[in-house]
Amino acid sequence: MSEGGGVHAVVPYYRGHAYIERLVGSLRSGTLRPRRITIIDNGPVEDRLRATPVWNAVVGDDITLVETRPGIGFGRACNAGAAIAASAGATHVVVINQDAWVTPDALEHLVAVQVATGAALTGPVQLTPEGELSTFYARHYLPEALDGAGRVNKRSAWPQQPVARGMLSGACLLFPTSLVSSHGPFDPLYTMYGEDNDLARRVRASGLCSLQVPAAVIHHVHTNANATDNPVANLAVRVWLMEAGSVNLLRDGRGSIIADVARQVLRRAWQYGRELSLHGAPALPVLVASDRRLWERRGDLARARRGEPVATRAHAVAQQDLGEAVRVGRQEPGSEAAETSRS
């Protein structure tokens, strides 16, 4: 085993008490061990990781636990952790879901491919806890694994070498720290879901590539832990940003994605009983979910509509989130005030 001196792992955390010990154990026992594992806990104040017995099982010199305001979401939690890694001099950041775990050589393969190719993003193949490939994952991220009837092929049919992909799953992504300043990495407008696809589109628009590394494998429970359980808002934000020109989904010529997103919004709205308002716009339709959190983000949306770079907004929001946070194990001035003032 070698210590990945320049690799920092970032775990966005929300009530993942049943899974975090397995993830941390897999990171510590791999052939390349991250120098630091930063857990960004944005769960409810009354259900923080450090108040559970699990914390005693995972705490160590390699762990940084940061408690942010509750419910900041996946992308913002990742951005806060990535900012900490960058300030600590990390060369690479790997963001990984709390309910996943890595196989022993997964990180080693991801780092080796990134260094050899200069890819902006590298990601593993994702299996179920039982070691199977799900049809959903194959359809979206590993199409070679499907036969003509849409069934998953045997593993021998999978690519053996790194493959350029238009999208990689955000359940586990490795990138050089330079991506933090150039791309964000994630747009803070996305609370949960869509942020990984948005990042991949921006990477592609910058002339950089995303590589899937078949030799790197993780297992993922896919529990969908979410503070708001509201995908409608994220899909509405995606369409809003299209109209604003901040995210140009037509860049790759796939004009049908507009209709696809609209269908997703309406289907999700029906599923969750959300009401949608349809407003005319000079460019593309704007679908706005009647969701309180979306309206709270109007200021961020306005900045996006003015064309402010994602990296600029992401950095500002990350610094705000970290300024309000408590780092467990460090006595910081104002920590108690920050803890009791969160809503």
CA separation, residue 168 to residues 34, 135, 290 (Å): 21, 16, 30
Q: What is the DSSP letter of 142?
A: -
Q: Could you tell me how far CA 342 lies from the centroid of its own chain?
A: 23
The reported pLDDT for the residue numbered 146 is 86
Query: Taking the chain (343 residues) in consecutive chunks of 10 residues, what is each chunk's mean pLDDT?
Result: 75 95 97 96 94 94 95 92 95 97 98 98 95 87 85 79 94 96 86 81 92 96 54 45 39 44 50 36 32 49 65 90 80 32 23
The reported pLDDT for the residue numbered 230 is 44
Tokens representing 105 are 């050589």
Beta bridge partners of 13: 41
The reported pLDDT for the residue numbered 139 is 86
Amino acid at 339: E
The reported pLDDT for the residue numbered 256 is 45
Distance between terminal CA atoms of the chain?
A: 43
Amino acid at 37: I
Q: Could you tell me how far CA 335 lies from the centroid of its own chain?
A: 27
CA separation, residue 173 to residues 85, 217, 231, 302 (Å): 14, 12, 21, 29
The reported pLDDT for the residue numbered 269 is 45
The reported pLDDT for the residue numbered 66 is 97
The reported pLDDT for the residue numbered 299 is 58
The reported pLDDT for the residue numbered 241 is 44
Q: Are 17 and 52 within 8 A, CB to CB?
A: yes
